[in-house]
Amino acid sequence: MLRRPLALIAALLLILLISWSLRPKPSAEVARTALIMGTLVEIKGVGPDQKHTEEAISAAFDIMKSEEARFSSRIETSQISAINRNKGALEADPEVLFVLQLGQQISRQSAGAFHMGLGRLIKLWGFEAVNPRVPETQAIKQLLPAFTQDAVSMAGTGVERTDPRIQLDLGGIAKGYAVDRALEVLRASGLQSASVNAGGDIGLLGGHGERPWKIGIQHPRKPGELLATLELRDRAIVTSGDYERFFEIDGVRYHHILNPQTGLPARACQSVTVVAPRVAEADALATAVFVLGPNKGLALLENSSAVEGLIVGADGQVKVTAGLKGQVQWR
């Protein structure tokens, strides 16, 4: 007589057990920062538990540090420094070849507005020094002929500078590549939600929980204020602006985004935001568009696959690619 109630109770317990096992497991959000590639990098991740998430973030930081050791022209043992010293071709890692090929592709698409060989020019301006300066006009002119061609020539795995005046400086693309690599590590670790922000070079994995990541775009002329926000999932977003690194002399602003044709700071834009599948691509395109200016820059973005952008011209006027217009939330 008691068998049916006992069977019913057992069935109910089984249902409860199955329901409990199917419940979403508790997740832990972890955020950490580190100084890499001369900028503060913040990584946020959401995983099944805090220990797993922290281990994934540590591995992501490690891969970014290894890419810095490979690409930084300020580290004497890096491959980029070796290429800069070498008079002939030098064998390069697949990672270096990939970044150089992507950089050359964007350089050609932008008619040279993005250039990877401005190292000597950047040093002339001293943006990395305590006291930056406006270089002598003649010193700039001596370098300009080198920037009318590709920064490097590549044959197989060999890399060679096209002109001895060229010094590779991959600050406009390698930082984005390092963020891409960090995202690969986070994804491989099983994290489904993460963000990597390297001084404005941002890579996003999934959404922020159930919602997209909400990314603010800084107003280029109102410090501390946002121009707009975007909601994104699984995308890269990079903003380049003339307010990031600059100095002023007699009321004139001299910033670090240099025009390869003139050797002077590009003057057509205040800021450029690019949304793309990869951070490295968004990084280089943001620089190229800044140099090209609103009209040519917008055309470059519209003609680039799966890429969108927002451009603030020197006059403060804003241009937005067609695919982004409905997504921008103005502040």
User: pLDDT tens digit string along 238-279?
Assistant: 999 999 889 888 889 999 999 999 999 999 999 999 999 999
**Residue 82 pLDDT:** 98
- The answer to whether the CB of 244 falls within 8 A of the CB of 271 is no
Mean pLDDT, the chain, as a whole number? Answer: 91
Nearest residue to 275 via CA among 242, 233, 315, 244: 233
According to DSSP, residue 72 is labeled -
pTM: 0.90
Q: Facing residues of 36 across strands? A: 39
Measure the CA–CA gap between 299 and 321, rounded to whole angstroms.
Answer: 9
pLDDT of residue 4: 43
Average pLDDT over residues 91-115: 98
Give the pLDDT mean for 227-239.
97
Question: Percent helix, strand, coil in the chain (nearest 5)?
Answer: 35, 25, 35
Can you tell me the distance from the alpha carbon of 206 to that of 234, in angstroms, rounded to the nearest whole number?
Answer: 5
Domain boundaries, the chain: 79-161
pLDDT at 21: 40
The pLDDT of residue 161 is 97
* Closest listed residue to residue 196, CA positions, set 51, 308, 57, 53: 57
Q: Residues 66-70: what's their mean pLDDT?
A: 98
CA distance linking residue 230 with residue 282, whole number of Å: 15
The whole-number pLDDT of residue 11 equals 41
Q: What's the pLDDT band for 27 if we cut at 50, 70, 90?
A: low
Q: pLDDT tens digits for 179-194?
A: 999 999 999 999 999 9
Q: Is the pLDDT of residue 13 over 60?
A: no
pLDDT tens digits, residue range 294-331? 999 999 999 999 999 999 999 999 999 999 998 999 98
Q: Cβ neighbours of residue 3 under 8 Å, at least 6 residues apart?
A: none
- Is the separation of the CB atoms in 284 and 106 below 8 Å? yes
**Residue 28: predicted pLDDT:** 73
Q: ∠ at Cα 201 (260, 305), nearest 5°?
A: 75
Q: How many residues are given for the chain? A: 331
* 128 confidence band (pLDDT: 50, 70, 90): confident
Residue 129 banded pLDDT, cuts 50, 70, 90: confident
Helices 174-188 and 50-71 pack at an angle, to 10 degrees, of: 150
Of 154, 161, 147, the closest CA to residue 83 belongs to: 161
Q: Please give the pLDDT value at position 47.
A: 86
pLDDT at 12 over 80: no
Architecture of the structural domain at 79-161: Orthogonal Bundle (1.10)
Question: What's the pLDDT tens digit per position in 200-230?
Answer: 999 999 999 889 999 999 999 999 999 999 9
